[in-house]
Amino acid sequence: MNRLFLIGPMGSGKTTVGRFLARRLRLDFHDLDQEIEKRCGVDVNTIFDIEGESGFRVREQAMLDEMTQRDRILLATGGGSIIDENNRRLLRDRGLVLWLETSVDQQLKRLERDQRRPLLQAPDRRERLERLAEARNPLYRDCAHLTIRSANISPAAMAARAHRRIVEYMRNGTAQ
């Protein structure tokens, strides 16, 4: 396997699990939001503040196009990168897409102290996350070749679980 792309909502573990999984698969790990920040010289919050979500999404699409062409990569995407149909097509066509499916309760627990995610800045975080899940879960499902249900286990154990599923998928060519 040459390219693996992790999708899922914020707090699903894409970056943390992705680092462990990249080591197991001997792939270079990259986080899409971090790559955007490096390129722009500012954090995602600042991009949202200056350009709004639409401006950020333009930058995200350009960086996603660039990163999905690299070889030997495990790319952790941003939670909203699947909103754009072209992004979903790029991901599916250029590599193996793994959805880290996560409950809103798990997201709330994992993001309890997070103050830096622009879309999480809301008076009612649960309501915001539920609305995002309702809108995005069908897109994640449609885009993914494989789904790994998040569990209350360590990131290393989640990576081991994902690794087994990927090996099985590569061997059999099916997600089951």
Q: What is the pLDDT of residue 117?
A: 58
Q: Please check whether residue 129 is in contact with residue 153, taking contact to mean a CB–CB distance below 8 angstroms.
A: no
Residue 176 has pLDDT above 50, yes or no: no
Residue 12 has pLDDT above 90, yes or no: no
- Residue 175 — very low, low, confident or very high, per pLDDT cuts 50/70/90? low
Q: What value does the mean pLDDT take over residues 43-48? A: 88
Q: What is the pLDDT of residue 150?
A: 82
As given in the structure block, the two tokens for residue 38 are 């490096």
Domains of the chain: 3-172 (3.40.50.300)
Q: What value does the mean pLDDT take over residues 42-66? A: 92
The per-residue pLDDT for range 86-123, each reduced to its tens digit, is: 999 999 999 999 999 988 888 778 766 655 655 566 66
